[in-house]
Amino acid sequence: MNTDKKRFRLLIKGTVQGVGFRPFVYNLATSLGAKGFVLNNTDGVVIEIENVDIEKFTHLLKTKKPPLSEIENITIETLDWLGFEDFKIKDSDTFGDKFPSIPPDMGICEDCLKEFNNPNDRRYKYPFINCTNCGPRYSIVLDIPYDRKNTTMNVFEMCEDCKKEYEDKTNRRFHAEAISCPNCGPIYWYEKDGNIYKENVFELMANDLKNSKIIALKGLGGFHLICNALDEKAVKTLRERKKRSSKPFAIMFKSLEEALKYLEPTEDEIRALTSVQKPIVLIKRKFPYFEEACQGLSSVGAFLAYTGIHLRLFDFIDFPIIATSGNISDIPICKDNDDAKSKLKDIADAFFMHNRDIKRPVDDSVVKLIDNNISIIRLARSYAPKPIYINTHVKAVSLGMGAFLKSTISIFKNNTIILSPHIGDLESVDTIEHYKNTLDDFLRFYNVKPDIVVCDMHPNFFSSIYAKERFSDKATVVSLQHHKAHILSVIAEQNIDTHQEILGIAWDGTGYGEDGTIWGGEFFVGNAYNLKRVFYIKPYKLIGNEKAIKDPRRIVLSLIFELLEEKAFNHPLVEKLRFEEKELKMLYKMWKNDINTTKTSSVGRLFDMVAYLMGLTDVIDYEAKGAMMVEDRYIDSKEYYDFHISNNEIIISFEDILNEKEIDKMASKFINTLFEIIVSIIKLLKIKNVVVSGGVFYNRPLMKRLKALDGINLFYNKKIPTGDGGISVGQAFYGGLLC
């Protein structure tokens, strides 16, 4: 045991604040007879320690750490002996280079769940139960460091019992900033028909759910709209009132045991469902359950009750509930009581509310298991803010402004990129305001002034316009092509050598291209500093631009025009498209003369076309609808459609697709075609390091086949969304490379 008279100073970076890390260090150090102190500072956690075997201590730090903590880096300095008399937890140090870890909101932990169900515990059935391992964090933070005085819990004075726990270094609730109990915590109530109820609230809610009512329920990071998931009348009413014609709803279950009555999860899906993050997980459902909620899809977004509020409600009902975002379509979830009553009054029959203020809304995270690995679709509760540690160290500060859809922001400083939680699509005033607030919060929390700001190349995106308006006189503002940002997000996250030659494949629904057309089926060659577009799906025309994105018939028609031009009017499929003759002639004129028509190489739009040809949908009324439906119909097969490569263009035989007789094989053959295209390009270019990103790579059968390929190193997003939610990471990384 090496305990020479030395003092060691450890700086620990990662998710180490607000997760019980300091009391863990205190208990570990005292158990080893060590002396010194531990404190939070704006870089992470600092430990100064003497009288300890430093190798043993650091090993135990890594192997015994609290469940919600993530240690990304430990630096150790050897200093002169000071002769500490004991080991202390010191107050947070607010000085220094301000780039701390702000912990995400977390669902209820196993220890709190046991207390919640223990009649002898003082927090028995307490809706706001939490500890250092769970509860609200990011959603209630006012400033850093993450201390109670800097959260919305600062208005609740702790009772003596809570104060003792909060100050007890050996207690699980030591410095649990959101700590409370029935004697000193938030209060809740139920509003219905102009009346306010403070007694028997959960019984009243349960009774309303049993009678097909819709309730707006304030939870951890905002409001849910809930109803009985087995009550088709209630689900239809919710769909009508929310104006959500076919997008699936997520379903919350009391427990895994209850979920298994209705779902057929794999072992990996069970692990994700029951993990500390408790995300929404896409899982195959048992038929005929949840037909109205799922709208023809075989999988459902399932998650478990993750707060005492939800669990208390489940004490009075024996059915799962729809728990969808408490918002009007295309705006952020409501977080304030008055705002919810105003915006949701035409949807909800009643409101469950409490007086713990939510500073910023946080959605539920959504994940999908692809070949036993979690693929993040929406990064929010329990996952974000997300620190990503980069091998590249930059001297300046870079800001990524995100995409138009599924927008996020990212800050790159030193060797860390911080990714914000999901913000949403920047097409409403409310979402734009949320975007601005998130940006303000991040710049303030991390005390940064960006030197370089990277936005999307699309000149009309709000994020691009705002970047120039806000930062052009303070920083260098540059644009980065959308699909290159996708590839760079993987290079950053996976710490690929920035000079390493890679083949980058970015496939999705849309992205403004360097030639002014819409890209979405791209192959790049190069490295992080220089990516060159070398191949792409042969562009086809979107007749009517946005209208073609929602109406896949126009894509089918465009491809028939491409094959036959004026002779297309005699094609048997054209009659089935159900266009009026006058409209058909107008659409041909638009196609022929490029009137209100844009070229695209989008793979995502081709999924929409296939979904229509298979008779799965006539309209694309939510993002990735066609892709989800086509994947749902995939059957194991190696058949694919013909294609060839001419110059830089990949030309798929759309004639074969349009004339397909065995419709049930179309999904498999189309997805297999995409796989074969990738294989052909890999063989042609002979590049082993292959990077894939973009929403198309949420496709399970495609990714499964790519992962099984021999002779290549496949890189893809694992910690962040492969969709547009990860774009800001690629942008921020690019800015860092320019510094």
Q: DSSP per residue over 661-681, as a string?
A: S-GGGHHHHHHHHHHHHHHHH
Residue 577 falls inside a structural domain: yes
Residue 76 falls inside a structural domain: yes
Q: Would you please indicate which residues are annotated as catalytic (active-site) residues? A: 22, 40
Which tens digits make up the pLDDT trace of 582-625?
999 999 999 999 999 999 999 999 999 999 999 999 999 999 99
- Are 347 and 437 contained in the same domain? no
Instruction: Look at the alpha carbons of 531, 537, 539, 541 in this order and tell me if their dihedral is positive or negative.
Output: negative
| Tally of CB atoms within 10 A around 113 | 17
- Are 437 and 548 contained in the same domain? no
- Are 308 and 401 contained in the same domain? no
Residue 125 falls inside a structural domain: no
> What is the phi/psi pair of residue 241, to 5°?
-70, -35
The pTM (predicted TM-score) of the whole model is 0.93
How far apart, in whole angstroms, are the C-alpha atoms of residue 492 and residue 489?
A: 5
- What percentage of the chain has pLDDT greater than the value 90? 89
- Are 335 and 398 contained in the same domain? no
Q: How many domains does the chain have?
A: 4
First to last CA, the chain: 46
Q: Which two tokens stand for residue 335?
A: 């977080």
- Are 71 and 194 contained in the same domain? no
Domain range for 348 = 188-354
Least confident of 61-70, 73-82, 199-208: 61-70
Chain-centroid distance, C-alpha 578: 38
Residues 308 and 328: beta-carbon distance below 8 Å:
no
> What is the phi/psi pair of residue 354, to 5°?
-145, 175
- Are 306 and 407 contained in the same domain? no
Residue 28 falls inside a structural domain: yes
Instruction: Look at the alpha carbons of 620, 622, 623, 629 in this order and tell me if their dihedral is positive or negative.
Output: negative
Residue 268 falls inside a structural domain: yes
For the segment 311-329, the average pLDDT, to the nearest whole number, is 97
Instruction: Look at the alpha carbons of 453, 458, 459, 465 in this order and tell me if their dihedral is positive or negative.
Output: negative
- Are 201 and 306 contained in the same domain? yes
DSSP one-letter code for 183 = T
Instruction: Look at the alpha carbons of 345, 231, 631, 698 in this order and tell me if their dihedral is positive or negative.
Output: positive
Residue 561 falls inside a structural domain: yes
pLDDT band at 97 (very low <50, low <70, confident <90, very high): low
Query: Under 8 Å CB-to-CB from 99, ≥6 apart: which residues?
Result: 42, 43, 413, 414, 416, 418, 446, 447, 448
CATH code, domain carrying 46:
3.30.70.100
Of 61, 89, 117, the last residue of a domain is 89
Which tens digits make up the pLDDT trace of 265-292?
999 999 999 999 999 999 999 999 999 9
Radius of gyration, alpha carbons of the chain: 27
CATH code, domain carrying 565:
3.30.420.40
Which tens digits make up the pLDDT trace of 519-535?
999 999 999 999 999 99
Residue 121 falls inside a structural domain: no
- Are 490 and 341 contained in the same domain? no
State the pLDDT at residue 631: 98
Of 68, 89, 110, the last residue of a domain is 89
CATH code, domain carrying 211:
3.90.870.40
- Are 334 and 393 contained in the same domain? no
- Are 661 and 728 contained in the same domain? no
Which tens digits make up the pLDDT trace of 438-496?
999 999 999 999 999 999 999 999 999 999 999 999 999 999 999 999 999 999 999 99
- What percentage of the chain has pLDDT greater than the value 70? 98
Given a cut of 80, whether residue 381 has pLDDT beyond it is: yes
Residues 699 and 722: beta-carbon distance below 8 Å:
no
- Are 55 and 24 contained in the same domain? yes
Residue 109 falls inside a structural domain: no
Of 46, 61, 89, the last residue of a domain is 89
- Are 626 and 609 contained in the same domain? yes
Given a cut of 80, whether residue 419 has pLDDT beyond it is: yes
State the pLDDT at residue 330: 79
